[in-house]
A and B are shown apart, each in its own frame.
Chain A
Amino acid sequence: MKKPLFRTLEAPQGVHMLGAIQRLDLAMRRYKSSEQVDYCIVGVGSAGGVLLQRLARAGFSVVGLEAGPFWDTERDWVSDEAGSYNLYWNELRITGGKDPLALGANNSGKGVGGGSVHWAGFTPRLHPSDFRVHSEDGVGVDWPISYDEIKPYYDLLEKEIPVSGPAYFPWGDPHGYPYGPHPMGGCGDIMIKGCTKLGIRVSIGGPVAILAGSHGDRPHCIYRGFCIQGCKVGAKQSTLISHVPDGLAHGAEIRDHCMASRINLGKDGRVTGVTYFDPNGHEVEQKAKAIIVCGYAIETPRLLLNSACPGHENGLANSSGTVGRYLMAQAGNVVLGRFEELVRMYKAPPAHALTEEFYETDPKRGFARGFAVQTVGPLPISFARQMMVAKGAWGWGMRQVMMDYNHWGAIALLGEILPWEDNRVELATEKDRNGIPVAKVTFNLHDNDKRMIEYGKNKVMEIMQAAGAEEVVQEARYAHLVGGARMGNDSRTSVVDKFGRTHDIPNLFVCDGSIMPTQGSANPGLTIQALAARTADYLISQQSEAFTGSTRGTKPPAIRYDLSPPDTWGKGVPRLT
């Protein structure tokens, strides 16, 4: 065998590798818990990472509490499917309803970077119509903001991430991407072939949060296919590698392995701090002038509900009764096709081609809203579990179909399930290891959802057949989670206002996927990060008003182009923005 080309990439103690090149000295600023900081952020994930970076850069004192580890990507992550189980929120949750959701590895991250550590990295924008689904289609609810209000933040985050994709992305509000598109893998070729045959436009090589060329101290993609196992390369963006280092450089502190158990309320009706279990299991309170909950669609409602106190018996910020309600997942049926020729779908990022041709409402289809079709690339264990359901495989049948793994390709539905009041997060009777009640998730599909899934699933199977698959099967599943603390103008039907400020408590904010009123058929990661940058600009513009809340500013903040991480500007050739 030839000698390996690579030396060890592990860094000395006290220094973390964030990808193959970037090094982070963990000698960060430390605040005393008795010291009242400006902001305490609960959950350093997609939104929390961006907020922490922005607020620290603007000069505020910021402490981020993170239930999971502060990753060293070289030591903690592996190029191995089974060995990556610790990237996910694996603590107990109860899942029920008529159509229960799989949680854990399916949609929930744990550790600095949160879900952005294990996302596949698709970064489509929402369409302008997504912000007006009630006005246009009479379903769901309108957002309290329009597409035009979030658009500059899409432009900005696409540069900060940065996103690779085509020069012209034709759907929604057409735009282009700063880094060029990626080469195709086997599943992308299937998408092109099937879609082309059916006359469906398809975007190839992106948009994905994966570098097509090196960027600062992050290398380009090496096409190893382990995106959702955590990108050891540092090519796929997570806030861990794109925003957190800049936040720490500007004085933010992150406390990992710290599980928030409740938010404390003062006599004046303002929150005073967050109680959490430190890594040794001791309860500690961090005092803060304002608190931003960024725990995502299940842990955010859980924390608010677990923080019930006199005057807020149903949970903090829950006078509307909507905390935990209007939880959404996207339909994510995986369609698998067997081809005569080899595909080897484990190579290349799972996310690399998509179509949004069916995104908007088409009255002829018999349901409101629509869906996208995207490449996926299940590795062997996921593929076996899909075959277990899609074909009912076990025993010799399982061995047989798995020996054909390299002949199979996969593409998937990403369909818009609407927000329903009965899809919700509550507290279960079970408790976690710290004695905190765990979440109980209830999920039911409604008629419009079922019609969309049936139509969408058949369309994806049609594409697979048109690509030349000799056998086509599918597995029903869901992807992503949003909602549970939705934003709105009406305090009787929503939890937070259009900037993420809770209607009930002036210095308590929520910013993560849970504030999304509807979800479109776009993967939520980019929108979550864009909303976080916008909320950060709002908080900065409010200065101390954000802490006292004596007046509630309603004017959109000026966008701060000077708060981006290093290496954002002067890279790539942004087109059509």
Chain B
Amino acid sequence: MPDPEHDGRPVNPQTGKPLPPLAQPGYYPRFSTLSQKEFWDEATRNLVLTRIEKIPPIRFFSPEEAHLMTAVCDRILPQDDRDEHHKIPIVNSIDERLYEDRLDGYRFDGMPTDQEAHRLGLQGIAEVAQHMFRKPFVDLSPLDQEAVLRTLHDGQPPAGHNIWGRMSVSRYWLLLVQDVVGAYYAHPFAWDEIGFGGPAYPRGYMRLEGGEPEPWEVNERRYAWAAPPGSPSAQFNPVGGSAEHKGSPGQGGTH
């Protein structure tokens, strides 16, 4: 039996055994958005292929920060169920955004710049890890790393108060998580995982109702899996603790 304290892999809920890493987790076996790339317009094809083929170098984070940030991203969006060839790079695209100073168009009053917020946040995470486990964050087991991050999610980090006094821990948490999911779900591997059809111009979609797949999409085939036993991130809790976090409006445009 693997030691659940030191194994971050999800498990088969029936047997409790870790699932083997897959080329393509998710319920859409052999669905491949990239297989349709000849049907995409040129600008979109170039953009998506560049995204997966030319991973930007780390230029904003220092080597130490990048090391820590990688460990953090591995828990914000764990990929232990993906094999080595199908992991989605996350830190590089966040680093690129910060290096190129690509803003989201606003900054909350009282928050530092996104660049400074990410730097401060990493310091805060390092301090919480030392406080809770007397070890650097990167040396902790996946579950202990999650326990550290859970305190930020709950808005109750037990250390690093010099940092959280300078920026709201909940605003930092939302900045961090939104940057991480923004990188992961921009990748065709993630689209295949969740069954999203991806780019669709100039061909378009024709089966709009009833969740029907296009001829080149596939039907869902579900399997049972569960987060590693004891994983704090497997439970759903409001950001900032019991009360719904106030003052963090939705980011993306919907209407």
Query: Which chain A residues have a beta carbon within 8 Å of chain B's beta carbons?
Result: 1, 3-6, 8-10, 20, 74-83, 85, 88-108, 118, 120, 122, 183-186, 189, 222-226, 228, 232-233, 332, 334, 341-344, 346-348, 350-351, 374, 376-382, 384-386, 388-389, 391-403, 405-406, 410, 412, 414, 440-441, 475-479, 523
Contacts and interface: CB of A to CB of B under 8 A. Distances in A.
Interface string B185-216: 11000110111111111111111111111000
Given A74-B43, A83-B47, A348 B205 contact: yes
A478 B249 CA distance: 7
B201 A232 contact: yes
Given A380-B185, A395-B149, A403-B26, A412 B105 contact: no
| Closest CB pairs A-B (n = 7) | A104-B105, A395-B233, A342-B211, A222-B204, A96-B109, A477-B250, A382-B252
Contacts of B151: none
Contacts of A222: 200-205
B209 A186 contact: yes
A71 B114 CA distance: 28
A46 to B, nearest CB: 15
Interface of B: 10, 25-27, 35-36, 38-44, 47-48, 51, 75-78, 81, 102-110, 146, 149, 153, 174, 177-178, 181-186, 190-191, 193-213, 220, 227-228, 231-239, 244-255
Contact of B250 (A94, A122, A334): A334
Q: Which of A351, A378, A385 has the most CB of B within 10 A?
A: A385
Contacts of B106: 92-95, 101-104, 441
18 contacts: A6-B202, A78-B41, A79-B44, A82-B186, A90-B103, A90-B104, A93-B107, A102-B249, A118-B253, A184-B209, A222-B204, A228-B253, A228-B254, A348-B205, A377-B254, A399-B78, A412-B254, A478-B250
A57 to B, nearest CB: 32
Q: Interface residues of B: mostly helix, strand, loop or mixed?
A: loop
A8 B39 CA distance: 10
A523 B246 CA distance: 25
Contacts, number: 314
A105 B182 contact: no
B205 A224 contact: yes
A400 B11 CA distance: 13
Contacts of B205: 222-225, 347-348
Contact of B153 (A348, A394, A414): A394
A129 B185 CA distance: 43
B204 A79 contact: no
Nearest to A88: B105
A120 B105 CA distance: 19
A15 to B, nearest CB: 16
A116 B15 CA distance: 54
A375 to B, nearest CB: 8
Contacts of B38: 1, 3-4
Contacts of A386: 250, 252
A228 B204 CA distance: 15
